[in-house]
Amino acid sequence: MPIFDQGYQHWEGTLSGHLWRWWTITRHGVRAQLRNRFVRLFLLVAYVPAIALIAVLAVWGLLEQQAESVLTLLRRVLPAEMIAQPQDFRLAVWTIAYSFFFKAELFISMLMLLLIGPNLISRDLRFNALPLYFSRSLRRFDYLVGKLGVIGWFVAAVVIMPAVLAYVLGVGFSFQLSIIEQTYPLLGASLLYGLIIAVSAGTFMLALSSLSRRSIYVGLTWMGFWIVTTTVAGLLTVIHRETIFSQYRNEAMAEWRKGNRPPEGNFQKNRAEWEKYHQAQFQVFSRAQARGEAAWAEVADRDWRPTISYTANLDRLADLLLGTDSAWVTIGREVDRPRRLAGPMMALGMNPRERAQMAALLAQPTSERRLANQIVAQYPWYWSAGILAGLLVFSLCVLTFRIQSLDRLK
Amino acid sequence: MLFRLENVTKTYGAITALCHLSVDAPPGATGLLGPNGAGKTTLIRTLLGLIRIDSGSGEVLGLDIRKRQLDIRQAVGFVPEDECLFPAVPGVQFVSYAGELCGMAAADAMQRAHEVLNYVGLGEARYRPVESYSTGMKQRLKLASAIVHDPRLLILDEPTNGMDPAGRQEILELARDLAHNKGMSLLFSSHLLPDVESVCDHVLVLGRGELLAAGKIHELKQAHARAFDVRLKVDSERFARRLDEGGCQTEMHDDLVRVRLPEGRSQTMLWELAQSMAVQIRYLRPQRSTLEEVFLNALEEKG
C-alpha cells in the first residue's frame, strides 16, 4: 500500500465569497507584470521625482528652522520676506512642489501604462482566456475591476505612494506636527488625483486593450493618442498666443514707424542715433508685448485648445485639487513687489539696452497673477472634467461591447 | 438529482437553441449527444448560468439556474471546448490561479494545483509555460484547472476534440476514473459516441433544441427479440444459406452469422435447424443496439 496516494484526493476546504474575487485577478496581474524587469526598473525611476520633492520639502523645513546652511543658499534666490517668514509661504511652496511632482509623475505614469496596460486584456483575447474566467464564479464587472486594479496598483506605486512618502518626510523635516493641519489637503489631493489617473487612464487603456489581440498595436495607439493630442494642443495654443501677440506688436510697430524714420547713414557712421532709434523701437515693442500678455490673460479663461491634450486635462484637475493657482498668486505677489521696488536701482548698472528692457518691464502694471497666468491653465476645470468623463463613458461602452459574457451565438 | 430543467426555451433572434426542454439527469456520468446545432453548448451554458433563458426553470445541484448562477459556477467545474489559456504562466500557476478564481485561498490553491497536476499526469511539466504544452497536455491542464476546487459536477465540452488516440485515451481514463472511482458527477458532451459510451452510464440525446432520448445507456441499447449473433463449430456458411432459405436475413462476419428471424419466429428456429443439420452451436447471443443506432434512431424519429 502506498504511503501517499498521488491519485485524486477530495478537497475539504471552504471557498470564499464572491465580493473580493476581483482582487485575485489584480494580484495575479500585478505579479505577472512585476516579472518584467523593465517594469521593476521603471518603478525605481518613478521615485526620482519623489526624491526631488522630498528634497524641496526638506530644504523648506530647514529654512523654517532658519538652518544657516540653507539660509546661505536661499538668500541669493528668494525674496527677503520669504526668507524672513518662510512659514507664511509653506503651503504655497509645498503646493507648487507637489504640482511639479505630479507633472513629472503624470509623464511617468503614462509611460508605465504603456508598459503594463496593452496586454492586460488583449493577451486574454489572444489566448481565449475569457471562457476560463466567465465559466467560474466571476462576473464581467469583477473581471474589469480586477484588470483596472492592476493599473490602479501601478498608478498608486508611481503617484500616490511617493506623494505620501514625500509628505511624511516633509512633515518630519519641519519638526512640527502643526504643519499637518495646514497641509493635509495636499495629501487628500494626492490620493484623489491618483484615483482620477487610475480610473481615467486605466479604463481608456483597458478599452484600447480590448480592441486588439496584439498588444503592440494597443501600445502604439496609446502612444499616438498621448503624443498626438499633446502636440496638437501645444501647437494650437502657441499659434493662438502668437496670433494675439503679433497683432499687438505689428499694430504698435506700424504706428511707431509712421512717426519715426530710421536715422541717416549706416550704423557705424551714425552709431548714437541708431542706438537711440533701437532703444525707442524696443520700448514700443516691449509695451506691445505687455499689452499682448494682458490680452492673452483676458482670453486664457476661454481658451479651449489645451483641452485637446489628454494629459493637460489631467493636469488641469491636479491644479484644481492642489490649488496651484492661488499658490502661484501668493508667490507672484512676493516676487512682483520687490522687483518693482528694486528695479530702478538695479537699472543703474545696466547698459542702455538693458535699461530700456527694464523700463519696459516696469512700465507694465503690477500683477500678482502674472506667474499664475503664465504657469497655470486658466480655462474652467469642468471642461477638463467633462472631457475626462466623456472619455470614461466611451471607454466603458467599448469594454461593455468587447468583453462579452458567454451569452452570445458563435 | 444532478440537474433538472423544466420547459426551458432559449432563442437567439430567429434561432431557437432550446425548445421547451425538460430534462432530469441523475448523479453519475451523463453523456450529452447531439448533432451540430442541437443545443448542447447552449444547454451547458444554461446549466452554468452563463445565459439568460427566455422561459422555463431549472436547478443544478439543487441551485436555481435563474437566481444562483455564481453559486452554481462555484460548485461546478467546466472544461470548455475551445483552446483557452491564462497566458504567460507555468502550469502550476495556471491551475492555482483557476483555484483562486473559484474562491480558494492562495496557499490551498497552490497545494491543490500540485496534487491535481500529478493526478492528470502533468507533474513533470508543471513549471513549463503553458504556451509550450501540446494539445493533449493543454486538455489535461484544463481538466486539472476544472477539478482543482473539487467540484461536485464536472462538465466536459468535447474534451477529446482534435486529440491523438493516446491523448484521447488518457482523457477518457481520467474522466472514467473521476466518475466511477472518485464520486464526481460528469456531464460529458461529445460527438464521439464511443467516448460517451466508455465514460458514461446515462445519455441525453438532443436534436434541434429538444430532448430526443434519455436514459441509462445499457437500457437504451436494448436486446433485439429476433436478431442474433450465431457462431458454429463448422459449416457456418451452409447454416446461413439454410436460414436464408427459411426466410431469415443473414450477414457473415468471418465465422459469425448475424441473423434476423422472420416475423413470428423465435430462437427455437435456430436450435431446430442446427439439430437438423447436425451442427453444433458454440455461441448464441441476442443482438443489442449500438449507441450509434440509438442516436440515429432518435434523430430519425424526430426527422
Instruction: Kindly state whether residues B251 and B160 are assigned to the same domain.
Output: no
CATH of the domain at B269: 3.30.70.100
B119 in contact with A at a CB cutoff of 8 Å? yes
Instruction: Kindly state whether residues B109 and B53 are assigned to the same domain.
Output: yes
Best mean pLDDT range from A7-11, A363-367, B31-35: B31-35
**Would B163 be classed as within a structural domain?**
yes
- Chosen from A4, A15, A116, A138 to mutate, greatest number of chain B CBs within 10 A: A15
Instruction: Kindly state whether residues B234 and B168 are assigned to the same domain.
Output: no
> Closest partner residue to B119 among A7, A129, A407, by Cβ?
A7
Length, in residues, of chain B: 303
**Would B299 be classed as within a structural domain?**
no
Smallest Cα distance from A14 to chain B, Å: 7
Instruction: Kindly state whether residues B206 and B229 are assigned to the same domain.
Output: no
At residue A399's C-alpha, the angle toward residues A398 and A404, to 5°, is 115
Q: What pairing do the DSSP bridges indicate for beta strands B185-189 and B29-33?
A: parallel
User: pLDDT at position A154, please?
Assistant: 95
- Mapping DSSP to helix (H, G, I), strand (E, B) and coil, where does residue B249 land? strand
Instruction: Kindly state whether residues B264 and B209 are assigned to the same domain.
Output: no
List C-alpha distances in Å: B152 to A133, A249, B3, B107: 19, 83, 12, 22
Instruction: Kindly state whether residues B24 and B122 are assigned to the same domain.
Output: yes
Domain boundaries, chain A: 21-222, 232-382
Instruction: Kindly state whether residues B19 and B84 are assigned to the same domain.
Output: yes
Smallest Cα distance from A160 to chain B, Å: 27
List C-alpha distances in Å: B165 to B33, B133, B171, B176: 20, 17, 10, 16
Write out chain A residues lying below 8 Å of B105, CB-based: 13, 16
Strand partners, B23: B5
B50 in contact with A at a CB cutoff of 8 Å? yes
- The sign of the dihedral angle between the CA atoms of A182, A188, A191, A195 is negative
Average pLDDT of chain A? 86
- Chosen from B40, B43, B47, B86 to mutate, greatest number of chain A CBs within 10 A: B86
In this predicted model, what pLDDT tens digit does every residue of B177-194 receive, in sequence order?
999 988 899 999 988 888
Residue A351: half-sphere exposure toward Cβ, Cα within 13 Å: 4
Instruction: Kindly state whether residues B184 and B250 are assigned to the same domain.
Output: no
CB B80 within 8 A of CB A131: yes
**C-beta atoms of B115 and A9 within 8 A:** yes
Domain termination site, one of B161, B192, B219: B219
**Would B302 be classed as within a structural domain?**
no
**C-beta atoms of A137 and B103 within 8 A:** yes
- Mapping DSSP to helix (H, G, I), strand (E, B) and coil, where does residue A126 land? helix
CATH of the domain at B114: 3.40.50.300
> For chain A, how are helix, strand and coil distributed in percent, rounded to 5?
80, 0, 20
**Would B120 be classed as within a structural domain?**
yes
In this predicted model, what pLDDT tens digit does every residue of B238-297 receive, in sequence order?
899 988 988 899 988 888 898 988 888 888 888 998 899 888 999 998 887 777 777 777
B252 in contact with A at a CB cutoff of 8 Å? no
Write out chain A residues lying below 8 Å of B102, CB-based: 15, 136-137
How many independent structural domains does chain B possess?
A: 2
**Would B100 be classed as within a structural domain?**
yes
In this predicted model, what pLDDT tens digit does every residue of A325-342 receive, in sequence order?
989 988 888 776 655 555
Domain termination site, one of B219, B235, B270: B219
ipTM score of complex:
0.80
Write out chain A residues lying below 8 Å of B82, CB-based: 128, 131
pTM of the model as a whole: 0.82
Instruction: Kindly state whether residues B111 and B20 are assigned to the same domain.
Output: yes
Instruction: Kindly state whether residues B189 and B250 are assigned to the same domain.
Output: no
Share of chain A above pLDDT 70, in %: 90
In this predicted model, what pLDDT tens digit does every residue of A40-65 receive, in sequence order?
999 998 889 999 999 998 888 888 88
Mean pLDDT within A382-408: 88
**C-beta atoms of A15 and B115 within 8 A:** no
B273 in contact with A at a CB cutoff of 8 Å? no
> Closest partner residue to A13 among B82, B87, B104, by Cβ?
B104
**C-beta atoms of B97 and A9 within 8 A:** no
User: pLDDT at position A410, please?
Assistant: 43
Picking from A369-383, B62-76, B129-143, which range would have the lowest pLDDT averaged per residue? Answer: A369-383
Q: Rounded distance, CA B146 to CA B80, Å?
A: 9
**Would B296 be classed as within a structural domain?**
no
Instruction: Kindly state whether residues B99 and B241 are assigned to the same domain.
Output: no
Domain holding B228, by residue range, is 223-288
User: pLDDT at position A29, please?
Assistant: 94
In this predicted model, what pLDDT tens digit does every residue of A224-279 receive, in sequence order?
999 999 999 999 999 998 898 888 888 888 888 888 887 777 777 777 888 888 88
- Mapping DSSP to helix (H, G, I), strand (E, B) and coil, where does residue B170 land? helix
Identify the residue with better confidence: A394 or A7. A394
Instruction: Kindly state whether residues B90 and B239 are assigned to the same domain.
Output: no
